[in-house]
Structure 1
Amino acid sequence: MKKQESLSLEKGDAAQEFDDDGQTKRTGTWMSASAHIITAVVGSGVLSLTWCLAQLGWALGTFLLVVCAVISWYTCILLTNCYRSPHPVTGARNYNYMQAVKTNLGGRQYIFCAIAQYETLIGVSIGYTITSSISMGAIERSNCFQKHGHDKGCHALNRSYLLIFGCIQLVLSQLPNFHKLSFLSIIAAIMSFVYSTIGMGLSIAKIAGGGHPKTSIGMPPREDMSSKDKLWNIFCAIGDIAFAYGFTSILFEIQDTLKSSPPEHKVMKTATTVGISASTSFYMLCGLLGYAAFGNNAPGNYLTGFGFYDPFWLVDIANLCIVIHLLGAYQVVVQPFFAFVENWSRRKWPESRFVHKEYAIGYYKINLFRLIWRSTYVLLATLVAMMFPFFNAFLALIGSTTFWPLTVYFPIEMYIVQAKIRKYSFQWIWLRALSLVCLLVSSLAAAGSIRGLVVSVQTSKLFQSVS
């Protein structure tokens, strides 16, 4: 037996099974990483872009879509170099965003990062729950319109759909870790392309059918609201666009799925370029075509706001694809948070059978702590979504409060440290100036989104969200 083990080691079989950190050999490629990125990026954010264009007009709306895409791409490229420290090829792995911040910037920044990152992940999971319930309700309304005509209200109470989505996530949340999500991400990425394509097709059909709704090159005039309300909506729209590009909080988890050869940072740069390019193309087409179709009166969610009624079955397919996509995207964003809590608990209670013990049930392994903790999280997220089911304002709040720290500030600060950028050099000044501008814009967007939430809460009934 020892002789066989020796021969096995000499042939390198053991080395083929494990990576340099002793973990099971990673198998991810730029294609699987791109699928993860597209799944995380092309989420509920795409559905609000038509409304954003209606607040900003052709010029500013298009400009902000492109600028946010370029900034996100650039800072993510910087971030990929920080997966390993101190060198992007030979350094030790940083398995998540917080670990990278702690390694490069120290403890105080680590705490700030933890607050920003997990606010994002928690907020996005709640946002996805809201969006899915609205899409489920839209399917019911579409069938009602088909049966009774477009003049009937056909309003649907979203509460039951929020509970259905939450129940499905109770099951999916028991997937043990991020490395088991490749199949879910690929399905979700396909769904995002399908419903985005349907939305574009319906917009083109509506444009070709005539009507020519009023649009604006500059900021659209709003006779039905005050200048102050118009300004708040503009800030909220900026927050929605920022939300649409937020995936940096899980970039390291995605990069950690990649094979170690070729170097992870090179492969991740390719995946980031492909993922953001594909996502931006869909954003531009959906947002611009949707604005051309609906004009300045675009609904907050262009697939559930019923500017499109027919063919009703195609609208139903689009909304079903949204639900399927967000079922997967929800797991992509919450698995890092699950892992953080569970890893902390294992370190805190190393002798606890409740925390560590795995029970085999057929093919599956069940851990009681994981079962209870994850189920509790899903139930609480669903409860919050039922209490605050406000699509545009909620997405804007998440995007505005997390875009600057996670997408701009930390990537720039870590890159400056790791690349040893000389203080007051041109590159140092340029990077710090970019960070400052993004902070100012994010602050304005946050103010607009908070104001939007306050107004929505004042005019709604608790647990009585209606599509």
Structure 2
Amino acid sequence: MVTHSNNQNMYLEQGVGNGPGPEFHKNLDDDGRPRRTGTVVTASAHIITAVIGSGVLSLAWAIAQLGWAVGPAVLLAFSFITYMTSTMLADCYRSPDPLHGKRNYTYMEVVRANLGGMKVQLCGLAQYVNLVGVSIGYTITASISMMAVKRSNCFHKYGRHVKCNTSNYPFMAMFGCIQILLSQISNFHELSWLSIVAAVMSFAYSSIGLGLSLARVLGGDHGRSTLIGVTVGVDVSATEKIWRCFQAIGDIAFAYAYSNVLIEIQDTLKSSPPENKVMKKASLVGVSTTSLFYILCGCLGYAAFGNSAPGNFLTGFGFYEPFWLVDFANVCIAIHLVGAYQVFTQPVFGFVETRAKNRWPENKFITREHPIEIPFCNGIYYFNWFRLVWRTIYVIITTLSAMIFPFFNDFLGLLGALSFWPLTVFFPIEMHISQAKVPRLSPKWIALKTLSYACLVVSLVAAAGSIQGLIVAVEKYKPFKAPQG
């Protein structure tokens, strides 16, 4: 039995004789790490899990603020921007050559290899603050979906006039317990099955939302919709219209963002065919699928509810019946967020554990992996005490944060606004200019810089809208009162 270790993990392989045999080397990639097995399918599942969140059900609200003329156009524009910058980022996984260069395992390493300087620290700050924020936000959102199931059954039993108030604290605790268990999955490479399940769940609840919206439209029970969205003087004031448009543009822009986990997803792919080509195909599949569902859910939802579209027509009770179908959709949302939480937290886990192993390489508590045979699976799980303790503490802290700050989703919008431009647009474009040696002031250079600055304006506008929404949420929040769904 031969033990091999690196910064990511330690594992055991069967050797031959006294040293590593052919079987040992056959199971390693060109960087000495366990052979990667990811494909277009698994990478696409990771992307869909990361991108299609329960926010897809709030796009009807976003379209309602912008109207038929602008809403769908903004959705398509940001899908194109996201795909374009994701292809640029995919080429940076290896450097300096995208096909045979040295691997970069994280977004920070990619920025360090291509840009260097203070940009590395800025990238790390934007990425990891956003990832921690997302894990807190997903805890809140999943608990709201689980709470919606309980309220739905209450409405069905006692009538819609009953308040059916309930606390989401027990559901946050339940979600946290599940995440403590799943967080012991050692790395991103072993998450494929969970991402596939989560992707299926996202298709399920999106399809249910689509079906219910279509049924409402065909039944003639639909709201008033217009080319310009909510009408000043009828639905909202002029000031509210501006703030809501800012928030809607921000919601749509950030709904597509997955750059903060793209490199980690790409690092799961087999080396042949080249990772960048496979990742571009996966990005095309993921973004195209996402765009289709976003446009359908946004437009059909707006057609069904008109300018009075709720923030989320499943958890916000745009639909009450059939209650069992609404319940099933909300269960699918919760299961999807279980997987999405892991997709967004694995980079955080990997970052801390790699730093700890590099800092204390002789500490057995941090570095030693204990093989445990799994009955009936012919497999071995490698247990690590540091992984157990640190990941459990992380999940507990994010769960408690979600309980303490029930308005954190509004704050998450602000975090997303501040991280969208650097992670999704600025760094990919700057690294592409550097890698492809795009001449300064050439037409391509000017076009890319213009796109970057335009997206910076979008981020600032969305940040302003998020701050306004956060102020309103804080004013409405009543201490000691259970947060309502």
TM-score, L = length of structure 1:
0.95
The alignment status of 1:318 with 2:329, answered yes or no, reads yes
In structure 2, the CA distance between the partners of 1:344 and 1:313, relative to structure 1 (3 Å rule), is: same
Shift of 1:5: 6.6
State the match for 2:264 in structure 1: 253
Distance (whole Å) between structure 2 residues aligned to residue 75 and residue 457 of structure 1: 35
Which of 107, 131, 138 in structure 1 is aligned with 2:117?
A: 107
Deviations 1:154-184 (A, max 9, x none): 1221111111111111111111111110000
Q: State the alpha-carbon separation in 1 of the partners of residues 365 and 392 from structure 2.
A: 15
Provide the secondary structure at the position in 2 that maps to 1:365: strand
Which structure dedicates a bigger proportion of its chain to helix? Answer: 1
**Who is 1:341 aligned against?**
352
Q: How has the CA–CA distance of structure 1 residues 181 and 462 changed in structure 2, closer, same or farther, with 3 Å as cutoff? A: farther
Paired position in structure 2 for 1:196: 206
Which residue of 29, 38, 48 maps to 1:38? 48
Please say if residues 239 and 395 of structure 1, whose CA atoms lie closer than 8 Å, have aligned partners that are also in contact: no
One-letter amino acid of the counterpart of residue 80, structure 2: V
What is the match of residue 466 of structure 1?
Answer: 484
Matches within 5 A, 1:276-287: 276-287=287-298
Give the AA of the match of 1:386.
Answer: M
1:113-148 deviations in whole A, cap 9, x for unaligned? 001111221121112111111100110011111111
Give the letter aligned to residue 339 of structure 2: G
Read off the aligned partner of 1:150 and give its amino acid letter. Answer: R
- Output the CA distance in 1 between the equivalents of 2:244 and 2:397: 29
Give the Cα separation in 2 of the matches to 1:395 and 1:297: 24
- Alignment size in residue pairs: 463
Moved more, 210-219 or 292-301: 210-219
Root-mean-square deviation (CA, aligned residues, Å) is: 1.9
Note if 1:435 corresponds to 2:446.
no
**What aligned pairs does 1:149-168 form with structure 2 within 5 A after superposition?**
149-168=159-178
Query: How many Å separate the matches in 2 of 1:155 and 1:284?
Result: 33
Is 1:133 equivalent to 2:151 in the alignment?
no
SS class of match (1:299): coil
**Residues 369-408 of structure 1 aligned to structure 2 (within 5 Å):** 369-390=386-407, 393-408=410-425
What residue identity is the alignment partner of 2:483? S
Helix, strand or coil at the partner of 1:107: coil
- CA offsets, 1:404-459, max 9 Å, x none? 11110000011111111111111111111100000011101001101211210121
Conserved? CA contact 2:235–2:307, under 8 Å? no
Rounded to whole Å, the distance in 1 between the matches of 2:393 and 2:414 is: 24
Counterparts of 2:468 and 2:226 in 1: how far apart (Å)?
Answer: 25
For residues 104 and 176 of structure 1, the distance between their equivalents in structure 2, rounded to whole angstroms, comes to 29
Q: Is residue 292 of structure 2 the alignment partner of residue 292 of structure 1?
A: no
- Deviation larger for 344-353 or 91-100: 344-353
Deviates more, 1:376-385 or 1:182-191: 376-385
The letter for the 1-side match of 2:313 is Y
Aligned partner of residue 383 in structure 2, secondary structure: strand
Compute the displacement of 1:277 (Å): 0.2
**Counterparts of 1:15 and 1:167, CA distance in 2:** 38
1:47: how far off? 2.2
Q: Per-residue deviation at 1:44?
A: 2.6
Q: Which amino acid is 1:247 matched to?
A: Y
SS in 1 for 2:170: helix
Q: Runs (4+) of structure 1 moved beyond 6 Å?
A: none
Q: What runs of 5+ residues in structure 2 fail to find an aligned partner?
A: 1-15, 375-380
Structure 1 pair 181/334, CA: closer, same or farther in 2 (3 Å)?
same
Give the structure 2 partner of residue 275 of structure 1: 286
Say which of 192, 217, 221 aligns to 2:227: 217
Q: Deviation at 1:297? A: 1.0
Kindly indicate whether the alpha-carbon contact (under 8 Å) linking 2:56 and 2:294 is maintained by their aligned counterparts in 1.
yes
2:153: which partner in 1?
A: 143
> TM-score if structure 2 supplies the norm length?
0.92
Helix, strand or coil at the partner of 2:464: helix
Instruction: Describe the SS at the equivalent of 1:304.
Output: coil
- 2:28 equivalent to 1:18: yes
Partner Cα distance (1:446, 1:75) in 2: 21
**Residue aligning to 2:12:** none
Change (3 A) 1:392 1:31: same
Q: 1:51 aligns with which of 61, 64, 71?
A: 61
1:211, distance to aligned residue in structure 2 (A):
2.5
What does the per-residue CA deviation read over 1:27-81, in whole Å, with 9 as the maximum and x for residues that have no partner?
Answer: 1111111111111110132122111112111122111111111000000011111
Contact in 2 for aligned 1:241/1:399 (Cα 8 Å): no
Match of 1:331 in 2: 342
Distance 2:54 2:205 in 1: 11
**Within 5 Å, which residues of 2 pair with 1:226-237?**
226-237=237-248
Distance change >3 Å, CA 255–CA 17, structure 1 → 2: same
Shift in CA distance, 262/426, structure 1 to aligned 2, threshold 3 Å: same
Alpha-carbon contact 1:127-1:391 (below 8 Å) kept: yes
How far apart are the structure 1 equivalents of 2:315 and 2:228?
26
- Report the AA paired with residue 458 of structure 2: V
- Aligned twin of 1:75: 85
Instruction: Give 5+ residue unaligned stretches, structure 1.
Output: none
d(CA) in 2 for partners of 1:361, 1:27? 22
Instruction: Give the equivalent residue in structure 2 for 1:95.
Output: 105
Matches of 2:181 and 2:25 in 1, distance apart?
35
Aligned 8 A contact 1:45 1:395 in 2: no
Structure 1 residue 351 displacement after superposition: 1.9
Residue pair 1:239, 1:397 contacting (<8 A) in 2 also: no
AA of the residue aligned to 1:329:
A
Letter in 2 for 1:76: S
Query: What fraction of aligned residue pairs are identical, expressed as a percent?
Result: 57
